[in-house]
Chain A
Amino acid sequence: MSELDTREQIHPGTAPGEDLVLEIQGDGDFQTKDMTLSIGPAHPATHGVLRVVLEMDGERVLSARPVIGYMHRGFEKLAEYRDYRQIFALVNRHDWLSGFNNELGAALAVERMMEFEVPDRAQWIRMVLAEWNRVLNHLMFVGSFALELGAITPMFYAFREREDIQYLLESATGGRLHFTYNQVGGLKVDLPKGFLRTSEELVQSVRKRVDDYEDLLLGNEIFLARTKGIGALAPEVALDYGVTGPTLHATGVAEDARVTEPYLKYGEVDVHVPVGENGDAYDRFTVLLGRIRASLDIIEQCHAKIPAGPVNSKVPKVIKAPEGVTYLRTENPLGQLGYYLHSDGGRTPWRLKMRTPSFSNVQVLPHLLEGSLIPDAISILGSVFFVVGDVDR
Chain B
Amino acid sequence: MTLDSLTLPVAQFVPTYDSLLNVGDGFLLPLLLKTALVLGLALTVSLVVGYMEHKMMARLQDRRGPTFAGPAGSLQLVADGIKFVQKEDIIPAAADRRVFALAPGLALVPGILVFFVIPLAPGIWAEDLELGLFYALAIGSITTLGVLMGGWASANKFSLIGGIRAAAQLIAYELPLFLAAAAVAAQAETLSLVGIVEAQAGYMLFGTDINLWYAIPQLLGFGLFFVAAMAELNRPPFDMPIADSELVFGFMTEYSGIKFAMYLLTEYGGMVSMSALMAVLYLGGWQIAPGVPLPGCESAGLFDCGVLGTLMGLGVMLGKILLLTFFMVWARVAWPRLREDQLQKMAWLVMIPLALLNLFVVGIGKVIA
Q: Do A and B bind each other?
A: yes
- Which listed segment binds A: B57-65, B83-91, B296-304? B57-65
Known A222-B237, A225-B338, A225-B339; contact A153-B246, beta-carbon cutoff 8 A:
no
- Which residues in A have their C-beta under 8 angstroms from that of B352? none
Contact A373 B62 (CB under 8 A): no
Question: Considering residues A45, A216, A222, which has the most beta carbons from chain B within 10 angstroms of its beta carbon?
Answer: A222
Known A37-B157, A45-B246, A374-B246; contact A157-B337, beta-carbon cutoff 8 A:
no
Contact A153 B342 (CB under 8 A): no
Q: How far is the CA of A270 from the CA of B233 in the complex (A)?
A: 52
Contact B338 A35 (CB under 8 A): no
Contact A150 B341 (CB under 8 A): no
User: Is B332 part of the contact surface with A, judged by Cβ < 8 Å?
Assistant: yes
Q: How far is the CA of A157 from the CA of B62 in the complex (A)?
A: 7
- Which residues in B have their C-beta under 8 angstroms from that of A153? 60-61, 333-334
Select from chain B the residue with minimum beta-carbon distance to A151.
B336
User: Is B236 part of the contact surface with A, judged by Cβ < 8 Å?
Assistant: yes
Quick one: which of A358-374 are within 8 Å of B by CB? 373-374
- Mark A141-156 against chain B: 1 for CB-CB distance below 8 A, else 0: 0000011111111001
Q: How far is the CA of A147 from the CA of B236 in the complex (A)?
A: 12
Quick one: which of B311-357 are within 8 Å of A by CB? 332-342
Q: Beyond the given A222-B337, A226-B336, A375-B340, could you list 15 further A-B residue pairs with CB under 8 A, ordered by the A residue number?
A: A35-B157, A44-B245, A146-B336, A148-B245, A150-B239, A151-B336, A225-B339, A225-B342, A226-B342, A373-B339, A373-B341, A374-B246, A375-B240, A375-B339, A378-B246
Quick one: which of A201-259 are within 8 Å of B by CB? 216-217, 220, 222-223, 225-226
- Which residues in A have their C-beta under 8 angstroms from that of B63? 156
Quick one: which of B202-256 are within 8 Å of A by CB? 236-237, 239-240, 243-248
User: Is A73 part of the contact surface with B, judged by Cβ < 8 Å?
Assistant: no
Contact B248 A44 (CB under 8 A): yes
Q: How far is the CA of A43 from the CA of B248 in the complex (A)?
A: 6
- Which residues in B have their C-beta under 8 angstroms from that of A160? 62
> How far does the Cβ of A379 sit from chain B's closest Cβ, in whole Å?
8
Known A222-B237, A226-B336, A226-B338; contact A147-B245, beta-carbon cutoff 8 A:
yes
User: Is A280 part of the contact surface with B, judged by Cβ < 8 Å?
Assistant: no
Contact B248 A150 (CB under 8 A): no
User: Is A376 part of the contact surface with B, judged by Cβ < 8 Å?
Assistant: yes
- Which residues in A have their C-beta under 8 angstroms from that of B246? 45, 148, 374-375, 378
Contact B335 A151 (CB under 8 A): yes
| 13 sample A-B contacts, Cβ–Cβ < 8 Å, listed by A number | A43-B248, A146-B336, A149-B245, A149-B336, A150-B335, A153-B334, A156-B63, A220-B334, A222-B335, A222-B336, A226-B336, A374-B247, A375-B340
- Which residues in A have their C-beta under 8 angstroms from that of B61? 152-153, 156-157
Contact B340 A59 (CB under 8 A): yes
> How far does the Cβ of A227 sit from chain B's closest Cβ, in whole Å?
9
Q: How far is the CA of A222 from the CA of B337 in the complex (A)?
A: 7
Select from chain A the residue with minimum beta-carbon distance to B158.
A37
User: Is B161 part of the contact surface with A, judged by Cβ < 8 Å?
Assistant: yes
Q: How far is the CA of A149 from the CA of B337 in the complex (A)?
A: 6
Known A156-B63, A157-B61, A160-B62; contact A375-B248, beta-carbon cutoff 8 A:
no
> How far does the Cβ of B369 sit from chain A's closest Cβ, in whole Å?
37
Q: How far is the CA of A44 from the CA of B57 in the complex (A)?
A: 21
Question: Considering residues B236, B248, B335, B339, which has the most beta carbons from chain A within 10 angstroms of its beta carbon?
Answer: B339
> How far does the Cβ of A85 sit from chain B's closest Cβ, in whole Å?
41
> How far does the Cβ of A273 sit from chain B's closest Cβ, in whole Å?
28
- Which residues in A have their C-beta under 8 angstroms from that of B247? 374
Quick one: which of A157-197 are within 8 Å of B by CB? 157, 160
Q: How far is the CA of A223 from the CA of B333 in the complex (A)?
A: 13
- Which residues in A have their C-beta under 8 angstroms from that of B60? 153
- Which residues in A have their C-beta under 8 angstroms from that of B244? 44
- Which residues in A have their C-beta under 8 angstroms from that of B338? 222, 225-226
Quick one: which of B157-184 are within 8 Å of A by CB? 157-158, 161
> How far does the Cβ of B73 sit from chain A's closest Cβ, in whole Å?
17
Known A151-B335, A225-B339, A226-B339; contact A375-B62, beta-carbon cutoff 8 A:
no
Contact B62 A374 (CB under 8 A): no
- Which residues in A have their C-beta under 8 angstroms from that of B240? 375
